[in-house]
Amino acid sequence: MTAETVAESDVTLCVGDTTFLDYGSIEAKKEGYGPIGKGGNGLILHSGLAIEPESGQSVGLLWQKLWNREPKAKPPLDETPTQKKQRQLAARKEARNRPFEQKESYKWVEALTTVENLVSQHTRVIHVFDSCW
């Protein structure tokens, strides 16, 4: 329904943001979720909100994606500081070498392409995100 409303406009803003749903203190929610923020446990929600640029009024949601990160393996209890540094360096190198489609920032590309396919061709959509890559 939001896409239909947006289709009546020449220009709309699609403002994207991330929400961390932290269930770290809820014991029943420990399984099946993943790490978020600084030590939290939960889900990550990316949203694309349509805004009418002249009035600044929200029109509705154009896109949402709910997902979770995979929990990280626990480091060995007897890990030395040097081993920890080497393990973290290897993890960063592996993350840099992953295909872009497997990176978290790709979620915003999904938002762009989904919204562009959803909205009328005559409506110009301006995407506004914080820094995502």
pLDDT digits (tens, 9 = 90+) for 29-82: 666 788 887 778 888 999 999 999 999 999 999 999 999 888 778 888 899 999
pLDDT digits (tens, 9 = 90+) for 101-121: 998 889 889 999 999 888 888
* Alpha-carbon span 16 to 47, nearest angstrom: 5
Residue 133 has pLDDT above 50, yes or no: no
pLDDT given for residue 27 in this prediction? 66
Please, what are the domains in the chain? 2-71+80-128 (3.90.350.10)
Q: Which residues pair with 18 in a beta bridge?
A: 46
pLDDT given for residue 97 in this prediction? 94
Q: Decide: 16 and 131 in contact? Cβ < 8 Å.
A: no
Question: Half-sphere exposure of 121 toward its Cβ, with a 13 Å CA cutoff?
Answer: 0
* Alpha-carbon span 92 to 83, nearest angstrom: 14
pLDDT given for residue 45 in this prediction? 92
Phi-psi region at 37: left, alpha or beta (left = phi > 0; alpha = psi -120 to 50): left
